[in-house]
Amino acid sequence: MDPHLARLLTSQRTCRCCGATFAQLISLSCDRPDICSDEHIVQDNTAVLTEAGDVLTEDFCRIGDLHFLRAVLALPINNAGETEFILGTWASVTADDFHDYHSLLDMGEVDTMGSRPAWLANTIPLHEGQPPAAKIQPRGDGQYPDLDVVETSHSLHTLQQRGLEFEDLLEMLYAYGHDLPSLLYDA
């Protein structure tokens, strides 16, 4: 394993850009679907049932006739064992799938739902373009559903299949505003 990658995965360090301290590989998260304006305030998940119209909660979003669930886009890292780079994203789903997921989540049975079609609802740096077709795979134990890109011509599908090289990972972290490459190479 690349010694810089090993350091990134196992040692404590502080990001020079944001000042956050990390003891393992960081996961990144989008706070809302790209279509959702910054004017929407994040509410408690119960707002999906109690509020009419557009609503953004910690795990659900409804904008007009569009429905979104928070999901996890995992990108394997080559030469790092089973380590994955986790991106917390949003998935656009049908209204029926949105309501089914919400109902099953309340009953603790979301993992019985099976995979459902979806669209990635966030632009991922270095992989811009039209949002790719995907599928969500709900998981139990309060975990967010996995998001797998199924559109084979999209670069994120290729990354999910072949994995990230170390330099790809650093470029993505930098695109999200973390200056981790300088921490690895300046030490």
Question: In the prediction, which pLDDT does 111 show?
Answer: 86
Per-residue pLDDT reduced to its tens digit, 60-89: 999 999 999 999 999 998 888 888 888 999
Name the pLDDT band for 94 (thresholds 50, 70, 90): very high
* Residue 112 near residue 97, CB atoms below 8 Å: no
Nearest of 106, 26, 22, 24 to residue 59 by alpha carbon: 106
Strand partners, 117: 135
CA dist 126 and 136 (Å) reads 22
| pLDDT at 180 (0 to 100) | 64
Q: What's the CA gap between 178 and 142, in Å, rounded? A: 28
Do residues 101 and 111 touch, judged by C-beta distance below 8 A?
no
Q: What is the per-residue pLDDT across 19-42, written as a single tens digit (0 to 9) for each? A: 767 666 667 788 999 999 999 999
Mean pLDDT for all residues in the chain: 85
In the chain, what percentage of residues exceed pLDDT 70?
82
d(CA 120, CA 130): 9
Confidence of residue 187 (pLDDT cuts 50, 70, 90): very low
Q: What is the mean pLDDT of residues 147-173?
A: 89
Comparing CA positions, the residue from 5, 175, 142, 163 lying closest to residue 72 is 142
7 pLDDT higher than 90? no
Task: Tell me the mean pLDDT in the region 46-63.
Answer: 93
